[in-house]
Structure 1
Amino acid sequence: MINEWPTPSTVKELRQFRGPSTYSCKYGSNYAGKIHPLSQLRKNDAAWDWTAECQQAFNAVKQALTEAPILAVADQNRPFHVVCDTFYYAIGCALMQHDHEGRDREVCYQSRQLKPAERNYPVHDKENLAMKFALTKFRVYLLGSRPFVVYTDHASLRTATQPPHISQRMARWLSFFAEYNFQVEYKPGRLNVVADALSR
């Protein structure tokens, strides 16, 4: 069905496509980043101008939804870990577990576009925003006494929650982070395959 969806020619047709695609976005990585050019067409003051970039985005979303990876069923007896990443106009994250053979398995994906003000955040605040977004979306799995790890490809995130690095914004987020039992670990982008995929 998704593969055969015709190219939208009006805002109404675009909305009809976005309905099922938004519902299915948790099964594929970086939905918010891929759909971004199409989101611009839905703004109230935007003229309808279906560009090559829009067609590329439309095709990318359809392909992502038809080739989404097989997600693992969450196993409450195994520890979770989270991978998150940020880029210019979106943030994304994945909830993951190791299976019985020690392989990384994705349980769920989430992503969203950054608000205009958020795009002006310093890089470490964007990374913290991505982490906060991940913990909010995966709260039902992560909240409790069991520890988990958040992997980032931004080394300074490990110290961004400690003085003297705390911004006023970060200070507001600390009480939220305190509800969770986690540690942040740095994994370079070349090794952090899922985070790298989230930003594509």
Structure 2
Amino acid sequence: MNQAEANYTTTEKEMLAVVYAFKKFRSYLILNKSIVYTDHSALKYLFAMKDAKARLLRWILLLQEFAFKVIDTPGKEAIDILNACHNGPTGGHYGDNYTAKKVFNSGFY
């Protein structure tokens, strides 16, 4: 995220993440139906807007070539998912290779 994108609203940042993901994985997603799970229902509102900012309209036009739907995850379910990911036995662990790289780069070996 560059300095200008850091000033976007939360909703615009979420939309930017969706646009980035669809651009990055375009070749995989173009012919398949996709589901975007979000905890922020404003994305559905953005896709339905007709009088949005030019930037949002460009993003919406870009995303229209993909077949996907946006599903809101309720707050409780999102919290449960995050807890399962972060409180598990490997929660917060970056993996062996990344940890070794950090150690070697620090000079303490």
Deviation at 1:165, TM superposition (A): 6.4
Higher normalized strand content (fraction of residues): 1
Matched ranges for 1:95-174 at <5 A: 114-144=1-31, 146-163=32-49, 166-174=52-60
State which of 49, 63, 68 in structure 2 corresponds to 1:177.
63
Deviation at 1:166, TM superposition (A): 2.3
Look up the SS of the partner of 1:160 in the other structure: helix
Are the aligned partners of 1:159 and 1:165 in contact in 2 as well (CA < 8 Å)? no
Partner of 2:72: 186
Deviation at 1:154, TM superposition (A): 1.2
Partner of 2:106: none
Look up the SS of the partner of 1:159 in the other structure: helix
Change (3 A) 1:191 1:121: same
Q: How many residues align?
A: 83
For residues 50 and 81 of structure 2, what CA distance do their matches in structure 1 show? 28
For residues 44 and 51 of structure 2, what CA distance do their matches in structure 1 show? 11
Look up the SS of the partner of 1:140 in the other structure: helix
TM-score, reference length from structure 2: 0.65
Deviation at 1:157, TM superposition (A): 1.0
Structure 1, gaps ≥5 residues long: 1-113
For residues 182 and 168 of structure 1, what CA distance do their matches in structure 2 show? 22
Aligned Cα RMSD in Å?
Answer: 2.4
TM-score, reference length from structure 1: 0.37
Change (3 A) 1:185 1:150: same
